[in-house]
């Protein structure tokens, strides 16, 4: 599932995640800002985030990788994506 031929820089990943969040929440998110303590994110939206990350970056987020901490901030999501795209399983 990992397309290792395409290297995606962190900035590009974070830009796409930021755009998705902005479209959905109508708010701008700093890379380290906690989405979940803000109250802007419901459990439905948390699952939307998982599906968004999977389909946009062509990765499978399963088992222990589904940890909320991996989705807590824009930076956490980009780290997850970078790790999964490089084939790492350091969960």
In the complex with other proteins, which residue's Cβ is closer, 8 or 66? 66
Residue 53 Cβ, how far from other proteins at the closest point, in Å? 9
Residues 6+ apart with CB under 8 A from 38: none
In the complex with other proteins, which residue's Cβ is closer, 31 or 45? 45
Residue 12 Cβ, how far from other proteins at the closest point, in Å? 19
Residues at the site binding other proteins, with contacts judged by CB under 8 A: 20, 24-26, 40, 42-52, 54-55, 62-64, 66-68
Residue 62 Cβ, how far from other proteins at the closest point, in Å? 6
Cα(86)–Cα(88) distance, integer angstroms: 6
In the complex with other proteins, which residue's Cβ is closer, 45 or 79? 45
Cα(1)–Cα(37) distance, integer angstroms: 32
- Assess contact for 58 and 81: CB atoms under 8 A: no
Cα(51)–Cα(60) distance, integer angstroms: 9
């Amino acid at each position: 599932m990992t397309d290792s031929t395409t290297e995606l820089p962190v900035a590009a990943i974070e830009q796409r995640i930021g755009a998705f969040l902005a479209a959905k929440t109508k708010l701008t998110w700093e890379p380290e800002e906690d989405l979940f303590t803000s109250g802007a994110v419901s459990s439905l939206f948390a699952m939307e985030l998982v599906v968004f990350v999977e389909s946009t970056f062509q990765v499978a987020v399963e088992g222990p990788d589904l940890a909320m901490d991996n989705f807590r901030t824009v930076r956490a999501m980009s780290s997850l994506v970078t790790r999964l795209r490089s084939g790492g399983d350091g969960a």
